[in-house]
């Protein structure tokens, strides 16, 4: 049975072809979501399953509870050049730090590859 991540990746690749993937690992503690680490990768296919992605994410060396993926495309489609991807990653990081609800603008998954959503908590 495919995970939500695998369904999303297949649909995303079918829609855009190769793309740049911005990755933000987070810790979830009660009603708090804390960004831990981030990176980007250029995806040229949709044959990665959740187990493989999770193994890669675990190599970051930070205990994470969720991961958000954001898609970036060059002007003519396809992955962004590295310099542009690095700049965009900085923007994604700043957005998530300023407001964790920004995670909902990407695709957010738990450690089992299930889709998550962040909701505002009334205090």
Q: Are 121 and 31 in contact (CB under 8 A)?
A: yes
pLDDT digits (tens, 9 = 90+) for 45-103: 999 999 999 999 999 999 999 999 999 999 999 999 999 999 999 999 999 999 999 99
pLDDT category of residue 121 using cuts at 50, 70 and 90: confident
Q: What's the token pair of residue 69?
A: 């993926």
In a domain, 90, yes or no: yes
pLDDT of residue 123: 66
Q: How many domains does the chain have?
A: 1
Cβ atoms < 10 Å from Cβ of 117: 8
Q: Are 65 and 103 in contact (CB under 8 A)?
A: no
In a domain, 55, yes or no: yes
What share of the chain has pLDDT > 90, as a percent? 93
Nearest to 19 by CA among 75, 77, 60, 68: 77
In a domain, 122, yes or no: no
pLDDT of residue 61: 95
pLDDT category of residue 30 using cuts at 50, 70 and 90: confident
Q: Are 6 and 113 in contact (CB under 8 A)?
A: yes
Would the CA dihedral through 94, 74, 64, 109 be positive or negative?
A: positive
pTM recorded for the entire structure = 0.94
In a domain, 121, yes or no: no
Distance CA 84, CA 36 (A): 22
Domain range for 76 is 4-116
What share of the chain has pLDDT > 70, as a percent? 98
The average pLDDT across 104-120 equals 95
In a domain, 80, yes or no: yes
Would the CA dihedral through 48, 54, 93, 115 be positive or negative?
A: positive
């Amino acid at each position: 049975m495919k995970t939500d991540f695998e369904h999303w990746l297949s649909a995303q690749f079918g829609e855009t072809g190769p793309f740049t993937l911005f990755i933000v690992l987070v810790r979830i503690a009660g009603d708090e979501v804390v960004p831990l680490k981030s990176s980007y990768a250029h995806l040229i296919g949709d044959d990665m399953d959740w187990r493989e992605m999770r193994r890669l994410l675990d190599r970051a060396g930070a205990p994470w509870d969720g991961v958000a993926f954001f898609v970036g495309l060059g002007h003519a489609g396809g992955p962004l050049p590295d310099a542009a991807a690095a700049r965009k990653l900085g923007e994604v990081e700043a957005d998530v730090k300023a407001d964790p609800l920004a995670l909902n603008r990407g695709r957010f998954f738990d450690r089992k590859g299930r889709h998550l959503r962040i909701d505002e908590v009334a205090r």
